[in-house]
Structure 1
Amino acid sequence: MTVDNLSPGTATSATDDITPAPARQLRTRGGSRSRRGISGWIVLLIIAAAALLMIFPFWIAIINGFKPAADYIQDGPISLPSQLDFSALVDFWRGVDFNRKLLNSVAISGSVALIAAVLSLLSAFAIGIGRIKGRVWILAVFMVAFTIPQEALVYPLFVLTRDLGLYDTLAGVIIILAVLQSAFGTYMLSSVLGAFPKEMLEAARLDGANRRQILGRIVLPLTRPTLSVLVTFFFIWTWNDFFLPLILLPSADNQTVSVALGALSGQYTSDPTALAAASLAGILPALVFFLIFQRTLMRGVNLGAVK
């Protein structure tokens, strides 16, 4: 059968049949790549829009924190300042003794992050590697513990700190928040250590290593990325915590940054420019901490995903 005796439709189908397989594969791959490219651009636009929505409050705090009060009254909160005015930030810094509040927040957040990470590691080591009895029920208790709202715990914690002489002290808040944060850390690390290679542990025991040496020389180096993630989370969560420091630290000398910010806004009076300057002063330390440790945070998250 020759090509001249074929109809146009038959000739087309014959041409398709004799098309080389690599060419057909290239056309298929090209179409899939174009579809993936379009979907990738859509995802990128959605992420960019979400990022702009998250950055917008921070941008409002910046432009209003350095804006004169007259500009705010005349042009509103979205307009750019006609000149940079640092008076609101300076007045807030001096008025609430922000140096002391900043020192209190750094001391509490840093101590809670380190203590909670150590408690989480020790507890998870006993549950995940030590294989203590009833580990499933213990993990269930830890899971319930970090889901209980602070409002349900505030009265028992108030009575406990008062009876122990820890009320209105930084040590009392550090101990309470470290224990509460370690519940989540224990639950997270237990799942990691539960899948720890048994061959490595058995080899270490055959070499004469005790539990302390296994923890310090084997478990700790391998879980360091996960611990760095927990330390970062614990620090930021404690820095932003408002309710427990408000109840347990009533004196002005022991208050944290979040409590000082909450005291600026009343029911009937508020200064928008001072509030924006105060918010900016409260956000910047946590933002700087996150920027410093973001590489460690991302490395720990990626390493955990690969494992």
Structure 2
Amino acid sequence: MAGTLTPAAGATRPARRAPDRHHRGATRWVVLVLVTAAALATLVPFAFMLLNAFKSPGDYSTNGPLSWPSEFYTKGLQTYWEQVDFPLKLWNSILISGSVAVLAVLVSLLNAYALGVGRVRGRLWIIGLFLLANMIPQESLIYPLYHFAKGAGLYNTRLAVIIIFTVIQSAFGTYLLASVLGTFPRTLLEAAALDGAGKWRILWRVVLPNLRPTLSVLLVFFFIWTWNEFLIPLVMLIDNQTQTIPVALASLQGDRLMDAPTTNAGALISLVPAILFFLIFQRTLARGITAGAEK
């Protein structure tokens, strides 16, 4: 028909522009609102703790835990600091958690290197045992661990807790790293072996640099997990000179009486070191998770 335009031969239609990520419908905003609400809900207990940490016992008993403090009361912080000898408890927690984190990562690396790279018979069965060990509740371990510490002369010592948690945390670390090393490129190992590198040199020069992000994440997790442990330190450490911060917090509560403002003040002080540690190593966690996703 005259005047009708027809597309030229071989011409293609222009590709549709992908929708802008800011205009993908209401679902995006609903998810964002739900995630924000969940994040704010997790902060509610910390808000109550902060609110009651600076409230006097009389104000707390009269107006309850939801009221605003009538005065800025700091004696609860001072009472907790002096009553439990907080600097000593802080040193005990740092010493135990730091030692466990370093030793558990080292033991996990050596175990996983033997299982994931070495020629160990029954490798899958051994890794399965490590997985089962992670499922054992600590309550069932208290009795044999108590007798082990008593028989070895380590009861009421920080060394006993360090040994126990090094074994517990390294069980998880061995399972995780053995799974990672099971997929480690064999070409790198064979190339290093052809160059004359022994097993130890392959471990420190080839395997360790590739696992450094994962090991950093494990180090942070092991520290935080050990820091928050309560049951085993409560049983193993009965002396004020060896107790950790969670045990010191529990000592503020009696059978029939509890000073709520002092307990909240103690919880606030005890939370600060863990938050600082997490903020310092936040980039380490982000790099480790990103590196694991890329691999």
> What TM-score does the superposition give when structure 2 sets the normalisation length?
0.92
User: How far does residue 266 in structure 1 lie from its aligned partner after superposition?
Assistant: 2.7
**Separation of aligned partners in 1, 2:106 and 2:158:** 19
Q: Displacement, 1:209?
A: 0.5
1:188 paired with 2:176, answer yes
How far apart, CA to CA, are the structure 1 residues paired with 2:181 and 2:209? 12
Aligned pairs, number: 287
| Equivalent position SS for 2:241 | helix
Q: What's the secondary structure of 2:141's corresponding residue?
A: helix
**CA offset at residue 32 of structure 1?**
8.8
Q: How far, CA to CA, are the matches of 2:25 and 2:153 in structure 1?
A: 63
**Deviation per CA, 1:26-60, whole angstroms, max 9, x where unpaired?**
5xx449973x3422212211111111111111111
Match in the other structure for 2:187: 199
1:64 and 2:52 aligned: yes
Distance 1:258-1:32 versus aligned 2 partners, 3 A rule: closer
Aligned to 1:114: 102
C-alpha separation in 1, matches of 2:208 and 2:21 = 45
Correspondence for 1:276 among 250, 264, 274:
264
Give unmatched runs, 5+ long, in structure 1. Answer: 3-19
| Residue number in structure 2 paired with 1:138 | 126
Cα 1:124/1:244, change in 2 over 3 Å: same
Return the structure number with greater helix share: 1
Q: Which residue of 2 aligns with 1:221?
A: 209
One-letter code aligned to 1:274 = T
Equivalent residue, structure 2, for 1:166: 154
| Structure 1 equivalent of residue 8 of structure 2 | none
Could you list the per-position Cα deviations for residues 215-271 of structure 1 after superposition, in whole angstroms to 9, with x for gaps in the alignment? 111111110110011011101110100000011111121111001111212331111
State the identity as a percent.
50
Partner of 1:80: 68
- Structure 1, residues 134-161: CA drift from partner, whole Å, max 9, x if none? 1000001100111100111111111111
Change (3 A) 1:32 1:219: closer
Superposition deviation, residue 112 in structure 1: 0.4
Aligned equivalents of 2:286 and 2:252: distance in 1?
35
Task: Check 1:271–1:127 CA distance in 2 against 1; reply closer, same or farther (3 A cut).
Answer: same
Of the two, which has the highest radius of gyration? 1
One-letter code aligned to 1:91: T
SS, match of residue 133 in structure 1: coil
Q: Aligned in 2, Cα 1:213/1:88: closer, same or farther, shift over 3 Å?
A: same
Aligned partner letter, 1:198:
R
SS at match of 2:281: helix
SS at match of 1:254: coil
Q: In structure 2, do the counterparts of structure 1 residues 131 and 37 end up closer, same or farther at CA, with 3 Å as the change threshold?
A: farther
Structure 2 residue identity aligned to 1:125: Y
Stretch moving more, 265-274 or 242-251 = 265-274
* Alignment TM-score, normalising by the size of structure 1: 0.89
User: 1:101-154: CA deviations, max 9, x gaps?
Assistant: 111111000000000000000000000011311100000110011110011111
- How far apart in 2 are the matches of 1:277 and 1:93? 9
Q: RMSD in angstroms over aligned alpha carbons?
A: 1.9
Unaligned runs of 5+ in 2: 3-11
Displacement of 1:21 after TM fit?
Answer: 4.7
Detail structure 1 runs of 4+ shifted over 3 Å in the superposition: 20-23, 29-34
Q: Per the alignment, do residues 32 and 253 of structure 1 end up closer, same or farther by CA in structure 2, a change over 3 Å counting?
A: closer
The residue number in structure 1 matching 2:248 is 260
Greater mean deviation of Cα atoms: 204-213 or 36-45: 36-45
Alpha-carbon separation, structure 2, partners of 1:30 and 1:120: 47
Distance 1:113 1:31 in 2: 45
Amino acid at match of 2:82: R
**One-letter amino acid matched to 2:264:** A
